[in-house]
Amino acid sequence: MCTVLTFSGQSSIIPQEFSPFDPNEPAIPKEINYRGQTVVGFDLRGTDMLCLPQVYELFLKNMVGGLHTVYTKLKRLDITPIICNVEQVRALRSKNAIQPGVNRCKLIAATDFDRLYDDCTNTCTRPGRPPKRASAVEEWTVKREKFEGSLSSDNWGFLLFSVGSMSS
């Protein structure tokens, strides 16, 4: 018996003895206390595997653009979440870790999520890209200060003369 797993967008057929989950073992969800929150997941050979959509909702939703950004970061960090089987998805749904209509889910090791979380909260994680732009308010404040600083009393006379001659 073999199991098909997806790594980096490619399917790999792996012998059953290397499969992450024993298909004969019942999918019993486990409540895990993680970063002060209760997260649903599974124990995989002694490793706590967290429900990725649930930890995204709890910890990352307000920090990143969306799940697409999370998957991009996972790929860059070389972290491959494990795809849940049907029984695991049902078990996660029964614990309200995922919404009723969801039929796919991935699990991530707590240690891997720690790396992902650090990457999302660290401002220096834009390799090869410039820093994000300042907010529009900050930009206009800097531009206004620069403009006002360039105007001296000599420039005001010229500016008033120019405006006065335009209105005549």
Give the DSSP letter of residue 164.
H
| DSSP state for residue 59 in the 8-state scheme | I
Q: Chain-wide mean pLDDT for the chain? A: 76
Q: Are 42 and 107 in contact (CB under 8 A)?
A: yes
> How far from 115 is each of 18, 121, 155, CA to CA, in Å?
25, 10, 55
Rounded Cα distance between 71 and 17, Å, is 27
**Domains of the chain: which residue ranges?**
2-121, 139-167
CATH class of the region 2-121: alpha beta
Q: What is the pLDDT of residue 21?
A: 60
Q: What is the pLDDT of residues 87-105, one digit of tens each?
A: 999 999 999 999 888 889 9
Kindly report whether the global pTM for this prediction surpasses the value 0.75: no
Q: How confident is the model at residue 48 (pLDDT cuts 50, 70, 90)?
A: very high
- Residue predicted with more confidence, 107 or 13: 107
